[in-house]
Amino acid sequence: MTFQADLSNPFLRQAVELRDVFARDAIERDKAGGKPLEQYQQIKDSGLLRLGIPAQHGGAGQPWSTALRVVREFAQADSSVAHLFGYHGSSLHSAHVLSSPQQAAQLYAASAEGNWFWANNSNAGARSLTGRWQGDHWVLNGSKPYTSGSHVADHLHITWVDEDSGETIDAAIPAGRAGWKALDDWDAFGQRQTGSGTCTYENVRVEAGEVYERRSATPRAPYRTLIPFVQQSVLLNVFLGTAQGALLRARAYSLNDSRPWVHSGVERHVDDPWVKRVYGDLYTRTLAATALADQALGVLDRVWARGEALTAAERGEAAIPLAAANAFAGNTALEVTSKIFEVTGTRSTSNELGLDRFWRNVRTHTLHNPEEYKTRNVGYWFLTGEPPVPSGIQ
């Protein structure tokens, strides 16, 4: 009934504890926007930033399924913090699939030692940041949009376009690098503390050793296309956690505060057949979304563990349950966060209660990730057996 996490897992116990702390002022922080600095520090102090770093490099060596269940728990209370934690993981692990094992190991060890919070400046679809090679280093100028977490980050995964070749280059740099600035100009009505706005670059120097080393023999090996899987998995667990959190908050309100409608013929709101049916439907949908999400977590763990042995066929097969779970979680979250108001009543729209934030956050986040294209991919595969073609946003 409560979408209970596996509390035998110590990392999920930590996540639940932090989730409950985040919930205390989530409404106020959503209204204020800006930076979740206290929550950022609490996550750092918990050690969860090292969750996915291999044990030999100073981390906890946990699979993606654990990290993404942490995302899900955080999202029940605060989807902005959940989003930042999830994208920390995808940015941290970018070198693992895009660079050499030696460079990835160095970044893992440095991140574990420094307890770095990572963010992305790696939106490959935005070619607004360019670089020029100058002797022994790169110089970057321009900007990047949708840079979630950059306003509180320690380290960044970045991409830019080579002015001469048009090639996209990946690197990792510290957030304190001269000439780089997070404008913190995100002003959407949802996900208000994610800092998902613009970062600017003015003659930013990137050393040769900070550029991800290319494995020229297999530039498009299936394993190198897994970061979008991770990003989609972050999103679907943010959607799911938000739906779970909204449904639980609405349930508590209906039990304790809602009044029966005058024509319902019942003394208690929860005895209204309509109310019971709506909650039954929303709970069932959320259970189904949870089951699909859990299946997708297992798929991601398996393909990630395959490493460079991953085949194109395996990658293609994995894309389908991930896309299906993503699409269903997003639609479920939109349905839940909107429809709860039908059975909580007019007073539940109070700004003080803050139930609207669940819908605003889901609506904002799902627009980055249109369900239409995920469902089409699944449908085309079902009809033809052909999996989606990997891309920067697949």
Helices (H), 58-152: 64-77, 79-92, 94-98, 101-114
Radius of gyration of the chain (CA): 22
In angstroms, the CA 82 to CA 322 distance is 19
Give me the chain's average pLDDT, please: 93
pLDDT at 393 over 50: no
Average pLDDT over residues 201-208: 98
pLDDT at 266 over 90: no
Tens digits of per-residue pLDDT, 24-35? Answer: 999 999 999 999
Tens digits of per-residue pLDDT, 55-66? Answer: 999 999 999 999
Q: How far is CA 258 from the centre of its chain?
A: 33
Tens digits of per-residue pLDDT, 126-178? Answer: 899 999 999 999 999 999 999 999 999 999 999 999 999 999 999 999 999 99
**364 contact partners, CB below 8 Å, separation of at least 6:** 188, 189, 190, 191
In angstroms, the CA 139 to CA 207 distance is 9
Classified by CATH at the fold level, domain 10-114 comes out as: Butyryl-Coa Dehydrogenase, subunit A; domain 1 (1.10.540)
Q: Pick the range with the lowest mean pLDDT from 20-29, 118-127, 285-294, 317-326.
A: 118-127
Q: What angle separates helix 37-46 from helix 79-92, to the nearest 10 degrees?
A: 50
Confidence band of 215 (pLDDT split at 50, 70, 90): low
pLDDT at 241 over 60: yes
CATH superfamily of domain region 222-384: Butyryl-CoA Dehydrogenase, subunit A, domain 3 (1.20.140.10)
Q: Model-level pTM?
A: 0.94
In angstroms, the CA 246 to CA 333 distance is 9
- Per-domain residue ranges for the chain? 10-114, 119-210, 222-384
Query: What pLDDT, on the 0 to 100 scale, is given for residue 345?
Result: 86
pLDDT at 222 over 60: yes
**393 contact partners, CB below 8 Å, separation of at least 6:** 124, 125, 228
In angstroms, the CA 22 to CA 206 distance is 36
Tens digits of per-residue pLDDT, 357-382? Answer: 999 999 999 998 788 999 999 999 99
Tens digits of per-residue pLDDT, 68-127? Answer: 999 999 999 999 999 999 999 999 999 999 999 999 999 999 999 999 999 999 987 889
Torsion of CA 197, 146, 47, 41, to 10 degrees: 0
Confidence band of 220 (pLDDT split at 50, 70, 90): low
The domain at 119-210 falls in which architecture?
A: Beta Barrel (2.40)
Average pLDDT over residues 213-220: 62
Tokens matching residue 99: 């660079």
Query: What pLDDT, on the 0 to 100 scale, is given for residue 143?
Result: 97
Say if CB 64 and CB 51 are below 8 A apart. no
pLDDT at 195 over 60: yes
Strands of the chain, DSSP E: 118-121, 129-133, 137-144, 155-162, 168-174, 180-182, 199-207
The residue among 238, 284, 237, 276 whose CA lies nearest residue 254 is: 276
Q: Pick the range with the lowest mean pLDDT from 79-93, 266-280, 333-347.
A: 266-280
For the residues of 143-209, what is the DSSP string, one character each?
A: EES--TTGGG-SEEEEEEEETTT--EEEEEEETT-TTEEE------SSSTTS--S-EEEEEEEEEGG
Query: What pLDDT, on the 0 to 100 scale, is given for residue 394?
Result: 36
Say if CB 320 and CB 378 are below 8 A apart. yes
Average pLDDT over residues 323-344: 96
Confidence band of 392 (pLDDT split at 50, 70, 90): low
Residue 305's DSSP bridge partners are none
Q: What percent of the chain has pLDDT over 70?
A: 97
Q: What percent of the chain has pLDDT over 90?
A: 85
Say if CB 314 and CB 222 are below 8 A apart. yes
Q: How far is CA 139 from the centre of its chain?
A: 30
In angstroms, the CA 293 to CA 276 distance is 26
Cα–Cα separations (whole angstroms), residue 162 to 91, 133, 141, 177: 21, 8, 11, 20
The residue among 176, 174, 209 whose CA lies nearest residue 100 is: 209
